[in-house]
Amino acid sequence: MASILENRGVAIFLCLMFAWFKVSNGDVYKVGDSAGWTIIGNVDYKQWAVTKTFQVGDVIVFEYNPQFHNVMQVTHAEYRACNVSSPISTHTTGNDSITIDTYGHHLFVCGVPGHCQAGQKVDINVLRAPSLAPSPSSEVPSPVPTVTVPAPSRSDAVTLCALMQTISFPQWQYNLER
Ligand SMILES: *[C@@H]1O[C@H](CO)[C@@H](O)[C@H](O)[C@H]1NC(C)=O
Ligand SMILES: *[C@@H]1O[C@H](CO)[C@@H](O)[C@H](O)[C@H]1NC(C)=O
Ligand SMILES: [Cu+2]
C-alpha cells in the first residue's frame, strides 16, 4: 500500500515541479524600465539588455507614445543597418507585450526615421541552457546552430502529467491485484 502512495506521490510531485518551472519562466521585462521605449535621455538599451537573463516564455513590454514611436522586429543585417524596409513584425499600440518563445536573438528597433540610428534598438538574446548545449565530443555530428529553435510550451507540462498518470496507473492496478 505504501508503494502505491509513494508512486503516485512522486508522479504528482514531479508534475508540480515541472509546472512550477514552466510558470516561473514567464518573467515580464519592460524595455528601458521606467524610461520606456524612447529617444529621450539617451537610454542605453544595449546595457539594459545585457544585465538581464532572458528565458523562453518571458514577456517583453514596449511602452511608448504611439504618436512618436513604434516597434519593429528585424533581422541581424537590418538591425545593424537600422533598415526597416521589411520588418518581421510591426507593433504600434504603445503598450506592446511580446512573448519570447524561441532561443537566440530577438532584434527590435523603432521604425520612425532616425530613431534607430539614435539608439532606439534592443537585442533580446535568449541563451540556451548550458546543459542543453551539444558537447563537442558528441559522436552524432551536431548541426550548425540555427537562428531559432522551438522551445517547450506550457502544454508540455500537461502532457507530462497525463503521461505520468498512464505510467503510474498499471503499477496501481498491479498493487491492487496482489
Ligand atoms: C534594406 O533591406 C532590404 C530587405 O532586407 C534590402 O532590399 C535593401 O537593399 C536594404 N536597404 C539598405 C539601404 O540597405
Ligand atoms: C500596459 O498593459 C499592461 C497589461 O497588459 C497594463 O498592466 C499596463 O498598465 C499598461 N500600461 C499602460 C501605460 O497603459
Ligand atoms: Cu522611436
CATH of the domain at 95: 2.60.40.420
**Ligand 2 contact, 65 CB (< 6 A):** no
Report pTM: 0.67
CA distance 27 to 117: 29
Question: pLDDT confidence of 128, banded at 50, 70, 90?
Answer: confident
Which structural domain range is residue 124 located in? 2-132+141-177
Helix (H, G, I), strand (E, B) or coil at 53: coil
CA distance 92 to 76: 21
Residue 5: predicted pLDDT: 53
**Ligand 2 contact, 97 CB (< 6 A):** yes
Average pLDDT, the chain: 77
Structure confidence by residue, pLDDT tens digits, 66-83: 999 999 999 999 999 999
CA-wise closest residue to 1 among 176, 137, 177: 176
Instruction: Count structural domains, the chain.
Output: 1
More confident residue, 154 or 37: 37
More confident residue, 130 or 75: 75
Q: 84 C-alpha to center of ligand 3: Å?
A: 12
More confident residue, 26 or 154: 26
Helix (H, G, I), strand (E, B) or coil at 106: strand
CA distance 63 to 74: 18
Rg over alpha carbons for the chain, rounded to the nearest Å, is 22
